[in-house]
């Protein structure tokens, strides 16, 4: 042991302050490397802008395509099982009008095809020019090939509209993959050139090595080992109702008066590859609801019993409903869809056999109650995240899509008598899809634990209700707050 210590001391004495003059060209390479690093910092801004634009494009593309599909609303049929002979004849012209609108709604697919046809003609013209003008042969060939490529692309898009929805997502993944492939290729080239380099020659070889080193430096900024993050977040969620309805449905609809703030949250798993990009998934619970009441359905010439008429003049909520006499079920139109009552609830005044010819329904409810529709979703997201600022206080941008599974659908009536569950909303889709865009702020509490605050906007891509007369696509705005652990 003592011998070992002596050996160590002798080595330390001789080598601790050992000095040797390095070759002169090292300084030149260092200065070139520092200049390269400064240049890289300048292009960081443009990289961030590019990524932000790509995420925004994906968001808008998904929205636009979805909006276009949403125009294909089928003819509105409201509660066709109800018997109201006089009323149904009055409704028919409106349905016919809707049908004609739907026909025009199919036009976009034809319009998409048209540019392709024009380009085919252009391609033919270009071909003709090629024969007559040999002097511009090369130019014409180029333009022809470009036009043909465009025609093929146009036809492909027209034939397969669904692929357009996935295109922004695919292009983002391609962006990441191509980046990693380039890194792999460059590393291979660097290794190859390093092996072949002859260090005694300090002219051309030194320049090549310097270029390789700059590439490696740029890669080192982005390439790091892959990491995982798991976390849990909660968020207050404010829902903004966004809906459209057929005219007939809307004329008998109860308007939403307020959107209560619900609570959401869940656990997330994030895979981080490199310094900037990461992919996130997880399981989230999301509550969503809306409240309706005190929206007067008035100015109708209803004549009925004196008892019912006396209530109509008051500031009471009154809405048309349909009552199925076979099973005593009552149905009421809301912005989110048709509310199906389990039975006729107590605490309401019901007017039936009314003589209002404009009324599609066969009854009117008068009540001071509020109807609260609650929907609960389990969300499985797939988000792409990009780190804009990487420091003690990280700033990230996130965008992506989620699958939402409906797990709760309840409707409550809240009146002076209390809050009771009275039924559910009909035709709610069991599975729906949403897009999310957000900004993530991450603060490192320790080396591996982070505090996250993420304002997010979620919008539903498809209508949450399958009723053809209802398009219900609410927004959800939330601020997700939680902790994440990196390993």
Partner 1 sequence: MLYHHFAPKMFGVCLRYAKDATEAEDNLQDGFIKVFANLKNFRHDGSLEGWIRRIMINVSLEKLRKQHLLYPVEDVAIYDSVNFSDDVIAKIAADDLMKIIQQLPPRYRMVFNLYVIEGFSHQEIAKEMSITQGTSKSNLARARDILKKKIQENFSELVGQNNYTA
Contacts with partner 1, residue ranges (CB under 8 A): 3-4, 6-8, 10-12, 14-23, 26-27, 29-30, 33-34, 37, 199, 213, 217
Distances (CA, A) of 43 to 38, 46, 384: 9, 5, 22
- Contact criterion met (CB below 8 Å) for 477 and 237: yes
Least gap, CB of 199 to partner 1 (angstroms): 6
Nearer to partner 1 by Cβ, of 16 and 131: the residue is 16
Q: How far apart are CA 207 and CA 11, in angstroms?
A: 37
Nearer to partner 1 by Cβ, of 27 and 44: the residue is 27
- Contact criterion met (CB below 8 Å) for 254 and 301: no
Give first-to-last CA distance, the chain, whole Å.
39
Q: Is 373 exposed, middle or buried (0-12, 13-18, 19+ CB in 10 A)?
A: buried
Q: What is the dihedral of CA 204, 209, 211, 217, to 10 degrees?
A: -170
Distances (CA, A) of 103 to 75, 109, 112: 11, 11, 16
CA-based nearest residue to 476, from 295, 339, 284: 284
Least gap, CB of 227 to partner 1 (angstroms): 15
Residue burial 85-116, b: 16+ Cβ < 10 Å; e: rest: eebeeebeeebeebeeeeeeeeeeeeebeeeb
Nearer to partner 1 by Cβ, of 32 and 122: the residue is 32
Distances (CA, A) of 73 to 69, 373, 432: 9, 24, 17
Nearer to partner 1 by Cβ, of 22 and 85: the residue is 22
Nearer to partner 1 by Cβ, of 164 and 216: the residue is 216
Least gap, CB of 29 to partner 1 (angstroms): 5
Least gap, CB of 38 to partner 1 (angstroms): 9
Nearer to partner 1 by Cβ, of 16 and 204: the residue is 16
Residue burial 123-154, b: 16+ Cβ < 10 Å; e: rest: beebeeebeeeeeeeeebeebbeebbeebeeb
Q: What is the dihedral of CA 189, 193, 195, 196, to 10 degrees?
A: 140
Least gap, CB of 186 to partner 1 (angstroms): 14
Beta bridge partners of 340: 331, 424
Q: Which secondary-structure segment (H or E) carries 475?
A: strand 475-486
Least gap, CB of 442 to partner 1 (angstroms): 21
Q: How far apart are CA 116 and CA 248, in angstroms?
A: 39
Q: How far apart are CA 433 and CA 344, in angstroms?
A: 34
Q: How far apart are CA 412 and CA 291, in angstroms?
A: 9
Nearer to partner 1 by Cβ, of 9 and 118: the residue is 9
Q: How far apart are CA 457 and CA 438, in angstroms?
A: 6
What contacts 99, CB < 8 A, 6 or more positions away? 75
DSSP states along 283-332: EEEEEEEEEEE------------HHHHHHHTSS-EEEEEEEETTTTEEEE
Please report the sign of the dihedral spanned by the C-alpha atoms of residue 160, residue 162, residue 165, residue 168: negative
- Contact criterion met (CB below 8 Å) for 147 and 126: yes
């Amino acid at each position: 042991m003592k011998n070992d210590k002596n050996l160590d001391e002798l080595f330390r004495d001789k080598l601790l302050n050992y000095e040797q003059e390095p070759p002169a060209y090292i300084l030149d390479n260092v200065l070139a490397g520092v200049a390269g690093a400064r240049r890289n910092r300048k292009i960081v801004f443009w990289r961030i802008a590019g990524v932000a634009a790509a995420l925004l494009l994906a968001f808008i593309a998904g929205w636009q395509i979805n909006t276009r599909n949403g125009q294909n609303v089928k003819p509105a049929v409201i509660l066709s099982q109800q018997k109201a002979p006089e009323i149904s004849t009055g409704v028919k012209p409106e349905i016919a009008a809707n049908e004609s609108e739907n026909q025009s709604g199919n036009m976009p697919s034809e319009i998409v095809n048209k540019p392709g046809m024009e380009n085919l003609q252009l391609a033919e013209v270009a071909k003709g020019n090629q024969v007559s003008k040999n002097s511009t042969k090369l130019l014409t060939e180029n333009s022809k090939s470009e036009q043909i490529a465009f025609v093929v692309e146009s036809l492909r898009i027209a034939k397969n509209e669904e692929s357009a929805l996935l295109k922004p997502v695919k292009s983002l993944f391609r962006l990441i993959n191509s980046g990693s492939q380039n890194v792999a290729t460059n590393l291979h080239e660097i290794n190859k050139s390093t092996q072949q380099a002859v260090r005694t020659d300090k002219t051309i070889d030194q320049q090549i090595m310097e270029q390789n080193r700059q590439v490696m430096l740029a890669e080192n900024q982005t390439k790091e080992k892959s990491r995982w993050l798991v976390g849990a977040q909660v968020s207050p969620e404010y829902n903004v109702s966004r809906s459209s309805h057929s005219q007939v449905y809307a004329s008998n609809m109860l308007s939403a008066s307020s959107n209560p703030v619900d609570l959401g949250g869940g656990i997330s798993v994030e895979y981080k590859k490199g310094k900037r990009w990461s992919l996130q998934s997880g399981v989230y619970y999301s509550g969503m609801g809306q409240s309706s009441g005190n929206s007067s359905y008035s100015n109708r010439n209803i004549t009925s019993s004196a008892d019912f008429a006396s209530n109509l003049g008051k500031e009471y909520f009154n809405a048309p409903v349909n009552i199925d006499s076979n099973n005593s079920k009552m149905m009421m139109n809301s912005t989110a869809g048709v509310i199906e009552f389990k039975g006729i609830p107590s605490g309401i005044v019901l007017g039936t056999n009314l003589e209002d010819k404009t009324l599609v329904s066969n009854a009117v409810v008068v009540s001071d109650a509020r109807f609260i529709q609650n929907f609960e979703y389990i969300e499985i997201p797939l988000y792409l995240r990009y780190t804009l600022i990487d420091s003690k206080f990280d700033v990230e941008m996130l965008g992506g899509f989620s699958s939402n599974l409906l797990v709760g659908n309840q409707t409550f009536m809240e009146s002076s008598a209390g809050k009771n569950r009275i039924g559910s909303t009909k035709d709610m889709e069991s599975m729906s899809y949403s897009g999310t865009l957000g900004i993530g702020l991450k603060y490192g509490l320790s080396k591996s634990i982070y505090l996250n605050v993420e304002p997010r906007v979620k919008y539903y891509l498809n209508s949450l209700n399958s009723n053809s007369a209802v398009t219900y696509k609410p927004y959800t705005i939330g601020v997700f707050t939680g902790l994440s652990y990196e390993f």
